[in-house]
Amino acid sequence: MAATLEDIRVRNRQLAQANMSRQDAINEVRNQLAVVKSSEYTAIRARFNELHGRQDAVVGKLGGLVFKVGGCRWSVLLWGFA
């Protein structure tokens, strides 16, 4: 049993060293991802706001029930259903 535990410790050390050697690559990818997110967010948010405004205008003109579920607004138009 002692030999088995020692084998596990050695293997864990090897895996830890392998993970640590990848840390620079991981940090580089994180930095690249942050750049992509920050550069695309503004354009995507502007488009979302534009479409959301159009939806609000349509719902406002057509009427209907508007309710909120999980942070999102959903519109239900009632066409004479009782």
pLDDT > 90 fraction of the chain, expressed in percent and rounded: 32
Is the predicted pLDDT of residue 45 greater than 90, yes or no? no
* Cβ contacts of 77 within 8 Å, gap of 6 or more: 59, 62, 63, 64, 65
With 0-12 CB in 10 A as exposed, 13-18 as middle and 19+ as buried, what is 1? exposed
Position 66 scores a pLDDT of 58
Task: Please tell me whether the overall predicted TM-score, pTM, comes out greater than 0.95 for this model.
Answer: no
Report, as an integer, the average pLDDT of 6-24: 92
What is each CA distance from 77 to 34, 39, 56, in whole angstroms? 40, 37, 13
